[in-house]
Amino acid sequence: MQHKSAQGEFFSDALTKAIKEKFYHVDIDPISHKKRLFFDNSGGSFRLKAANDIFTKLDQLPDCPEHGNKTAKWLMEIQEEGYQSIETILNSKGGSIVTSLTASMVMFDMVRAVVEHIPGGNVVTTMLEHPSAYDAMVAYAEKTGKELRIAKTNPLTGGVDVAEIIKLIDEDTCLLNFMYASNISGALLDAAKIVEAARKIKPDLYIVADAVQHAPHGIIDLQKVPVDGINFAPYKFFGPRGFGIGYVSERLSKLAHHKLIAKSQDFWQLGSPAPGHFAAITEVVKYVCWIGEQYIKSTNRRMLFVEGMNRIKLHERALMHAMLEGTSTIEGIRQMAGVHAYLDHKDLTQKDFILPIGFDHLGYKEAVKMYEEAGVITYERLISSPYSARMLESLGLKGSIRVSPMHCHSLADIATFLKITKALCKK
Ligand SMILES: Cc1ncc(COP(=O)(O)O)c(C=O)c1O
């Protein structure tokens, strides 16, 4: 199949319907009971019913997985299966899995371990990073007296060019930290090229990557792109809130970190994570494999998972193409007078489905409010917000309306959004 198809490829209508039924609250707001298009999945994705149901069920059990009774042992097996599911997502072998309350906490811990214990006069990151990675780099660079080098963004693509990162790396670099994809622009960074080129300059360079935005939209393969640390967040990946997941390579796992004395040096878990979270991530993997099974036959879980993620990516790209270029009934954002797609990189294979847009005659906040009144949930990214200012400024934007649908949306949903957008253009 053509995973690289520039315009993507829709799921069949039957599969789109079956997918929608597997998620909670896709078409109706559960509080107001009104119809809505939830296009703010980058702030927290639709919940897979199977993942949330198993989480709720297991969280009712008082049993401690580390104890010896039968139900406790059953919980421990579920936890073990959860670790394997995380390995399926990342294609990791060896190293250690780290879990915490949030992906940000995992990021701070990984950065701290490297910057505090690996020699080198500088650390490198990008202007596009989420505060969890950027602020961790600032904090530990300051603490250890290392120079912080920051790669600039590319306002044409909404990403960061490989060369901008690589020119900052030298023999004295302690850590490189970059994101797989931007939660502001959707732009993908070329992780494979970044890692390869960085290690050409310094073969034993420590590299950490933030995959929180990208994980629900594409493939991560640690065998092909070997980084020392990576994180993602189940609540953006069809699962429950309250869990952050990371992987640390064998050498990173052994660096000094917060740990209990009784545990081995490479063990990063602190305390007792909820078994329900591990069961939920297994359900997410089973779901993606189920999509894969609609297209290929295999008994290999990773192969099915990769096929499922590729199909998600293709459907999302087809939706994104329709949003930009229009459908048979309505023109797209690129043609519509009065609204603009920002950072509109023409090559959609280089983007996850996030569209920053803006109107000629509506402020960002105002437009988000009007979208909500019309039944569409979006999110404003404003230069006045510390969560957005650095990235927006570097991209030459004062703000944007972030539109982030998900693979369980249909072409009809995009057409509805475009009709509402056209009406807002006329206000
Ligand atoms: C790209 C990116 N990295 C990291 C995070 C932080 O994730 P968490 O909320 O789980 O700490 C976010 C959350 O918005 C994000 O979008």
CATH code of 353's domain: 3.90.1150.10
Residue 413 alpha carbon to ligand 1 centre in Å: 26
Verify that 247 and 323 share a domain, yes or no. no
**What is the domain count for the chain?**
2
Tell me: do 89 and 155 sit in the same domain.
Answer: yes
CA of 129, closest atom in ligand 1: 1
> Are 400 and 365 within 8 A, CB to CB?
no
Same-domain check for residues 276 and 315: no
Question: In a 3-state reduction of DSSP, which class is residue 28?
Answer: strand
- Domain shared by 160 and 195, yes or no: yes
- The answer to whether residues 234 and 280 touch, using CB atoms and an 8 Å cutoff, is yes
**135 and 265 share one domain:** yes
Choose one of 249, 284, 319: the last residue of a domain. Answer: 284
CA of 327 to the centre of ligand 1 (A): 32
pLDDT by residue, tens only, the chain of 427 residues = 445 588 999 999 999 999 999 999 999 999 999 999 999 999 999 999 999 999 999 999 999 999 999 999 999 999 999 999 999 999 999 999 999 999 999 999 999 999 999 999 999 999 999 999 999 999 999 999 999 999 999 999 999 999 999 999 999 999 999 999 999 999 999 999 999 999 999 999 999 999 999 999 999 999 999 999 999 999 999 999 999 999 999 999 999 999 999 999 999 999 999 999 999 999 999 999 999 999 999 999 999 999 999 999 999 999 999 999 999 999 999 999 999 999 999 999 999 999 999 999 999 999 999 999 999 999 999 998 888 999 999 999 999 999 999 999 999 999 999 999 999 999 8
Residues with CB under 6 A from ligand 1: 102-104, 130, 132, 179, 183, 210, 212-213, 233, 244
Does one domain contain both 411 and 273? no
pLDDT score, position 108:
98
Are residues 27 and 119 both part of a single domain? no
In a domain, 128, yes or no: yes
Q: Both 335 and 272 in a single domain? A: no
Q: Give the closest residue to 238 by CA, choosing from 321, 298, 309, 178.
A: 309
- For residue 210, give every residue at least 6 positions away whose Cβ sits within 8 Å of its Cβ, in sequence order, or none: 103, 107, 129, 130, 132, 133, 177, 178, 179, 180, 230, 231
* Residues 106 and 177 both lie in one domain: yes
pLDDT value of position 386: 84
| Residue 292 forms part of a structural domain | no
- For 319, the domain range is 13-47+302-425
